[in-house]
Each structure stands twice: as C-alpha cells, then as structure tokens.
Amino acid sequence: MRTTLAAVLALFAMAHVLCALGADMYPVTDADKKILSEIVGALQRKDSTWIADHMIYPLSVVVSNRTRSVRSKEQFLPILRRELTDSRRAKILELAKEPLFKNWRGTMLGNGHLWFTQYHLPGGKAGTYGILAIGHFAFQPKESVKPRAAANHPVAANSASTPFGRVGDHRGGVAGRDR
C-alpha cells in the first residue's frame, strides 16, 4: 500500500514539474499582448470589419444550432455582426484582464472564448497574427477544407501556415512547417 501511494505521489510530482516546464515552453510575449490590446480595442469600438479582417479562414460557424463552413470575410461579416452580441463582447473584454494561456496552437483567452496565433506567410513577413476562434461560435474546422477567402485576405491569398498546419489543413502540426 505504501509503495502504491509513493508511486502515485511521485507521478503527481512529475506531472506538476512537466506542466510547469510546458508553460515555460510557450511564454506569452509582448507581441501577444499587443495583438490582444488591438482585438480588445476592436471589440470596444464594435469594429466587426477589423475582426473579420484578422480571422483565419476557413471557419466553422455555429448559427441556430447548425454548423456551416465560412470561407471568406464577406461570408463571415454579417454572421459576426449578428452573433458577436454585447454579452459575448463583454465576456471577452472581461477575460482580457486575466492571464493568457499559450501552447503550440496559439494564445487562448478564457475557456476558448478567443484564440489567436502568429503565422508565417511564405515569402512574406513572419509574425503576422490571426484570430483562430471567437465567441464560441466561430472556430477552425476539424476537417481539411481548401480556403476560398477573398483574394485580398492575406491568409487565403498566400496560403499561410498556421499552428494547425497550412490553412485548410487542420490535422494539427507545428507553426510554419509545411506538410
């Protein structure tokens, strides 16, 4: 019994150390805080266009208990204006005052109320930020979908890499690594 208890305690101690090490592997940067402040500003101004411009497409969007694929800013903007209610905005703004969580997929606010990440456009500027999910109604799709966003959207126009793999390839992966 004592051996089992000692083994269980040792496992908990190791798990605690590994969690602490994992948190240090993905520190929240000043750039993460800066993009969060820009997102907060857009939410406070109710600037849906700014938010839609910074989303990474395609998205899965839940509206009226149905999930649909949204492939462009033009498709997403009317949904965003309707679904990003004052209460959802207030919740995200409230959570923005709390510490951020970061892992290989990106930076998260609350319990997934907002996800954003840095990605690299091939042949372009590294360190561009995009919003992966917002308000528990718009998020990255699980299945692989080819993007068909507007040509002026930097992600679609350049087929960017995200922490989920290349845009449209949502099987998981490491940011910037082509599959």
In the predicted model, is pLDDT for residue 154 greater than 60? no
In the predicted model, is pLDDT for residue 160 greater than 50? no
- Residue 11 confidence (pLDDT): 55
Q: What angle do CA 173, 23, 177 make, to 5 degrees?
A: 20
Q: 67 by DSSP, 3-state: which?
A: strand
Residue 161 lies in a domain: yes
Q: 173 by DSSP, 3-state: which?
A: coil
Residue 3 lies in a domain: no
Q: How confident is the model at residue 24 (pLDDT cuts 50, 70, 90)?
A: low
Residue 23 lies in a domain: no
- Residue 128 confidence (pLDDT): 87
| The total number of structural domains that make up the chain | 1
Residue 18 lies in a domain: no
The pLDDT of 146-153, averaged and rounded, is 36
Residue 145 lies in a domain: yes
Helix, strand and coil in the chain, % to nearest 5: 40, 20, 40
Residue 140 lies in a domain: yes
- Residue 158 confidence (pLDDT): 37
- Residue 19 confidence (pLDDT): 47
CA 54 from centre of chain: 11
The pTM of this model reads 0.67
CB 132 within 8 A of CB 58: no
Q: What is the DSSP string of 128-148?
A: EEEEEEETTTEE--SS-----
- Residue 125 confidence (pLDDT): 67
Model confidence pLDDT, tens digit, residues 53-105: 999 999 999 988 899 999 999 999 999 999 999 999 999 999 999 999 999 99
Residue 84 lies in a domain: yes
- Residue 119 confidence (pLDDT): 83
Q: What angle do CA 56, 105, 155 make, to 5 degrees?
A: 20
The gap between the terminal CA atoms of the chain, to the nearest Å, is 49
Model confidence pLDDT, tens digit, residues 164-179: 444 433 333 333 333 2
The pLDDT of 21-31, averaged and rounded, is 78
Question: Which residue range is the domain that position 50 belongs to?
Answer: 29-166
Residue 103 lies in a domain: yes
Q: How far apart are CA 14 and CA 105, in angstroms?
A: 24
Q: Average pLDDT, whole number, for the chain? A: 76
